[in-house]
Amino acid sequence: MLPVTIDDTSLILVHGSVVDQEVDAIVNAANKTMRGGGGIDGVIHRAAGEMMLRELQEVAPSGARTGQVVVTHGHDLPQPFVFHVAGPRWQDGRHQEPLLLEECYNNCLAEADQRELTSIAFCSISTGIYGFPIDRASSIAVESVIAYLRDHPETKLDRVVFAMYGVEEYKQFETALTSPADGTSGR
C-alpha cells in the first residue's frame, strides 16, 4: 500500500510489531500503573529489559491517567524512546472513550514534536484487553493523526508508522488509511 502523505509526513502501515520498527520512538499501549502488563506492553517490557521498569518507577511513581504520555528510554530496544500511554477501557462508547483515545494519539505526537523527533511508531491503543472495537479505534487513530499533522505543519515528523501485528487490526487500519473520513487517501 502506498503511504498517505500529509504535508511532508508519510503515514505508513506495516504488518508487524512496533518493537521491530526503525523509528525514534515507539508507543506502548500501557496500563495506568505503568508497571508492565500483557499484550504489547509485556512484549515491550521484556525486550527493553528491567531498566525500563526501574525508570518508570522513578518517572511515574503513581502511574498515569488515561491519555497521559510517560516517556522512558528504550534501554535494550533499538528505539531511543518509548512513549507509554494508557488508553481508555471500552464501556459502551458513551463515557468519552473516543475522545480519550484521540487524546492518546495527539499527546504522543505532541511529545514527539516537543522532542523534535522525526519518526514514531504506534501500535493499536486500547483494542486488546481494553476492548475498544478495532473498527472505531482504527478510524479514530488515523483521523487523529491526520488532523494533528494538518494542525501542526511545523512538525519535524517525516514518518508516522502504524505497526499492526494482528491480521484483523492490520485490515482495519488499512481500511481507515485508504478511506479516511476526510478523503485524504493516498495524498
Check: CB of residue 101 under 8 Å from CB of residue 140: yes
Catalytic residue among 8, 20, 24, 41: 41
The gap from C-alpha 130 to its chain's centroid, in whole angstroms, comes to: 15
CB contact burial 157-179 (16+ within 10 A = b; e otherwise): bebbbbbbbeeebbebbbebbee
> What are the backbone angles phi and psi of residue 73, rounded to the nearest 5°?
-70, 165
Among 167, 164, 151, residue whose Cα is nearest residue 7: 151
CA angle 90, 94, 98 (to 5 degrees): 60
Does residue 76 have an active-site annotation? no
CB of 63 closer than 8 Å to CB of 34: yes
- Which residues, in sequence order, are bridge partners of residue 4? 11
Q: Just list the catalytic residues.
A: 41
